[in-house]
A and B are shown apart, each in its own frame.
Chain A
Amino acid sequence: MNTSTYDALSTIVGSERVSDKQEILTEYSGKMTQQAPSLVVWPQSVEDVVAIVEYANQNAIALIPVSSGLPRLRGDSAPKVDDAVIVNLSKMKRIIRVDTKNKVAMIEAGVTYDELLQETEKHGLRPLMPFLPKASKSVVAGCLDREPVTMPRFHWDSSDPLLCTETVFGSGDLFRTGAAAGPGTIDEQLASGQAQKNPMGPSQFDPFRILQGSQGTMGIVTWATVKCEILPEVQKISLVGSDKLDDFIKFMYAALKRNLPDDLFILNRMSLASALKKSRKEIDALRGELPEWILVMSVSGHGILASDELEYRFAEINDIANETGVSLNNKVGGVSSNDVQKLLSCPSEEPYWKLRFNGGCQEIFFLTTLDKTPNFYSTITKIAKETDYPSNEIGVYIQPTIRGSNAHCAFDIYYNNEDSSEIERAKTLYLKGSDALLKSGAYFSRPYGPFTKSVYEHTSPDIISAMKKVKGIFDPNNVLNPGSLCFTEVSK
């Protein structure tokens, strides 16, 4: 890396916020590529970010925006080119505003789930969260990743809970997306009763949808507004156990259709045990007690008739359970509702739950519909067998999204990250498994890691061409996370 880049960035953010130290750089290396960046820079403001991006454009420097901390499992923030600079927004930690009436929080990119949970609780709100994000996970990053949330009834559009953003496009242009764009400054908008809720627009395009899922290839988001919900006064958690995944499907569809529960998702015993216990020994012991599949559901009541609401919701769900042959319990195996409550609406305790079993985790996840998930599970276990991977060590998480119109299906492949043969086996299962899943109808809407290439080989060339056109608009010089997604080259 050119020392002038170091100097230039130091001028922008201050020398204490730029690093080329090896031990720091390796934190951002790809697990599978082992390619490290050359610098890390920690901006403190949007002005910093604008200056950094402008500099990158003028000097053909690759930038990779990051706002979460370790561990990094997916490789989206690992450099794919030489001499990349990590733009780490994790120190931008202001919670700018929490608005109870409008159920929204405005947060900078570095705010984590835990920080947001604590602040929103004071205002009688709760954010929409993915399942057990890592402690260092940035909320904004989670939203930009289109990470599925555990409460499908509040998930109205695939983009939720992301609302408006302040962004610096790859071109260096500052932009606010959604209603935040104006007319008016943010303060003027607040004075007219707005709260930067409408994520759409401005006008006849949705730049926020271009940022989401782009893995940092279109813009760097410095703040976002995120949807929150009223914190319920009362809540009840139920568990359902079964050795057959199919047993849950009818119940889930019926409950989702009626928008009755809050949290609603499925874990297999491996995932639940890993989430609840810290050591491999404990995880093994617990999963021995659990049925193969566990459905987790919460129901709540809030506001003026909180108890009535909870009572009505639960009674309706109970009727549905009876009609669909499902039995709602407070306990399944050795796990109680109270145990599970601790997993909801909070980030993972250390160590990150996906690393507890074996130290390493390779994720496979895709979108499908709920009814197809059993078949996909069969597919991955078949491939696991072919690769000599014990299928009962695959963690499974199935999350209905957009109120049940589709479902996020995730398979976690645990491996010993100090054993090269296990790393290799995990990689093989990841690639072969992903391929088999893709070919049998899994939709990798958020492709990460080496399999990304296969996803785009499977994608219509016209779609890729369109994506490249968009890239050419918002990041014409390809400074942002080059080599990611399908942007191996850019057309202008």
Chain B
Amino acid sequence: MLDDTVYDALKQIVGSDNISKEPAILDGYAWQWCNEVENTLKGKDPSRFGQRPDAVLLPCSTEEVQAIVELCNSHDVKYKALSTGQGAWAGVTTERAIQIDLRRMNRILKIDPDNMYAVIEPYVTNAQLQSELIKYGLIHNAQGGGPQTSPLASHTSFVGPSFTSAHTGYSGRNLLGAEWIVPTGEVLQVGSFDHTGEWFTGDGPGFSLRGVFRGAYGAYGGLGVFTKCAIRLFTLPLPKGWEWKMTGTIPDHEWNLPEYWKMYVLNFPDWEKFEDAFYEVNDHNVSMMAMASSAEGLASMFTNTKNGALDAIFAGLLMHTKRYFVVMLTAHTEREFNYRTKLIQAIMVKHDGEELIEKGIVTPMPMHYAEGLRNSLGNHAFRFTSCFQSTHGGLDTIAMSVKICQINLPIKQKYIEKRVIGDDRGEGMWITGYEGGHLAHAEIPTVYDPASPESCRGYAYYQDECNKADIEQALGIPFFIVGDDVHDYYGPNVMNYQNWLRKIKAAFDPNEASDPGHYVSAKK
């Protein structure tokens, strides 16, 4: 528990309206999706309630955050910052810890349409940023967490796949400069801002401090706080004068689909042809979206209700889909559209594919294009049981992504037979390509029942087995390999990287003030 003097000192920093130790407030931060998985793996009950923070603070500026961090350092209090905070990794993990809620820091500081970057604060959401960028014909990588989640969190601290990754890449690679409050409280404006007042690069002088604070995955809140960042932007092909219009009513809206936008569902007879086609389409870098899923995924993607998805499944969608991927072509001009269309069709034919939309097997609505952009398309998977999570997550090549899906199948089927996870025949998957097919990752979305302890446990054990398979089969590092115990288990298979993480933690966080629960602690 926080002693009163510490609480009062924190209150002095943010003002009495912006701090609370009321349990009803604190539990709003103790509860997180996937706590049930972490709790299970720690031998506890699969509850979504995790560690309750001792206080929650709402700072409004970098200076306030810095003051909080410094106070924590001098009073042996741990802290973890969150913005929109979706998931267990957003919450505190130890006692005597405070939650720094960055909600009040929500400005878009700059949009530079020529140099294609934006500078944002933590609580700008994906939808908010996209809605402002669209005025310039631009888009950013809005991560799969959804339109209501924070791009700053994704780019500085978390992962980074999205539905538009074929065009907008991976958050971790789109970061330019960042304002990083290191665990001891110094404020670093990493990159060019320190010299020039502009955020156009995050590297140097010399090597890049980006290499310290995030890797394939970010520090998940365990290495200080990010209060600003600059992220790269991408073109969004729109006709001149086009404005976003979403009409109709929930759940079936109508959207004014821009000219020269078209979706394809390219269906291939087997993995080999799928893989070859996926490589070829990605290499040409012509689509806003190029991603693969299962029949069940397709059913949920292009419908708007649970019943709609189930109807699609029971109508026989499974019989029609073999190995498919969705392409969302967008183009700036008719010429570009014609070329891209011709290319997609040529690749499809070359690899013995067929097109499921043309065949009437699925019919995406214009609003699904919009959902692809805003990254709520993946959220459709929640409709089955209000819950899913993904196992695996390894990122390297398209070929490895296919391998992950193939190796996962029998593992998943085992847990499906136990009736603890949703039945997608083991075929559930999501593969997306990045950067002209140079990279790809695969994750396996898995439905489970959050209200059933048995199902939560079942999912947790299934995830654990998937992690083991990734080690045994050399399939990269999955998403949730974080925290001391897990790093100590995984690290020896990966050049003992955890030792280096611990050195970074020791050097930058000597007082262990930054909550290590989803990063590492230095003291092991």
Contacts and interface: CB of A to CB of B under 8 A. Distances in A.
Contacts of A402: 201, 232
A404 interface: yes
B116 A201 contact: no
B343 A203 contact: no
B494 A406 contact: no
Interface residues of B, number: 103
B403 A192 contact: yes
Contact of B190 (A205, A458, A463): A463
Given A103-B283, A146-B203, A404 B115 contact: yes
A402 B199 CA distance: 13
A490 B297 CA distance: 53
A181 to B, nearest CB: 5
Given A209-B211, A259-B285, A466-B212, 14 more contacts: A159-B208, A183-B475, A183-B494, A192-B473, A193-B396, A197-B397, A200-B172, A201-B477, A205-B214, A403-B232, A465-B186, A466-B209, A470-B212, A473-B500
B283 A218 contact: no
A209 B196 contact: no
Interface string B415-443: 00000000000000000000111110000
A157 B268 CA distance: 32
B207 A204 contact: no
Contacts of A462: 182, 186-188
Interface string A450-488: 000001101110110111011011000000000001100
Interface stretch (B48-56, B103-111, B310-318, B329-337): B329-337
B494 A181 contact: yes
Contacts of B396: 179, 189, 193-198
A194 B196 contact: no
Interface stretch (A30-38, A324-332, A344-352, A437-445): A437-445
A55 to B, nearest CB: 22
A308 interface: yes
B397 A194 contact: yes
A445 B339 contact: no
Nearest to A308: B339
Given A154-B436, A198-B396, A210-B208, A367 B200 contact: yes
In this complex, which of A159, A204, A209 has the most chain B Cβ atoms within 10 angstroms of its Cβ? A204
Interface string B394-405: 011111111100
A241 interface: no
Given A184-B474, A460-B194, A466 B182 contact: yes
Given A369-B200, A486-B206, A406 B115 contact: yes
Contacts of A179: 395-396, 476
Contacts, number: 318
B497 A181 contact: yes
Contacts of B117: 405
Given A205-B501, A473-B507, A485-B205, A445 B192 contact: yes
5 interchain residue pairs of minimum CB distance: A184-B474, A209-B211, A193-B399, A445-B204, A201-B216
B75 interface: no
B401 to A, nearest CB: 8
A183 B342 CA distance: 40
A183 B477 contact: yes
B371 interface: no
Interface stretch (B22-30, B217-225, B360-368, B381-389): B217-225
A246 to B, nearest CB: 13
Interface of B: 112, 114-117, 169, 172-174, 176, 182, 186-192, 194-198, 200-220, 222, 232, 235, 279-280, 283-285, 332-333, 335-336, 338-339, 342-343, 346-347, 350, 395-403, 435-439, 470-477, 481-482, 487, 490-491, 493-495, 497-498, 500-501, 503-504, 507-508, 519-520
Contacts of B471: 183
Contacts of A369: 112, 114-115, 198, 200
Given A205-B214, A257-B116, A467-B206, A308 B192 contact: no
Interface stretch (A309-317, A353-361, A381-389): A309-317
A88 to B, nearest CB: 22
Contacts of A257: 116, 235
A484 B343 CA distance: 50
Contacts of A206: 208, 210-212, 214-216
B201 A230 contact: no
Contacts of B280: 303-304
A60 B302 CA distance: 65
In this complex, which of A157, A403, A438 has the most chain B Cβ atoms within 10 angstroms of its Cβ? A157
In this complex, which of B350, B436, B470, B497 has the most chain A Cβ atoms within 10 angstroms of its Cβ? B497
Q: Give chain A's interface residue range (CB within 8 Å of chain B).
A: 35 or more
Contact of B343 (A174, A308, A470): A308
18 contacts: A102-B399, A179-B395, A183-B470, A189-B396, A192-B475, A201-B216, A202-B495, A203-B498, A206-B215, A207-B500, A213-B208, A312-B335, A367-B192, A438-B195, A460-B194, A465-B186, A469-B508, A470-B212
In this complex, which of B487, B507, B508 has the most chain A Cβ atoms within 10 angstroms of its Cβ? B507
Nearest to B436: A154
A208 interface: yes
A287 interface: no
Interface in A402-444: 402-406, 438, 441-444
Nearest to A455: B205
A319 B335 CA distance: 11
Given A146-B203, A460-B189, A305 B494 contact: no
Contacts of B395: 179, 198, 200
In this complex, which of A206, A227, A486 has the most chain B Cβ atoms within 10 angstroms of its Cβ? A206
B498 to A, nearest CB: 8
Contacts of A214: 206-207
Contacts of A183: 470-472, 474-477, 490, 493-494
Given A193-B402, A205-B215, A443 B196 contact: yes
B218 A204 contact: yes
B338 to A, nearest CB: 8
A391 interface: no
Contacts of B501: 203-205
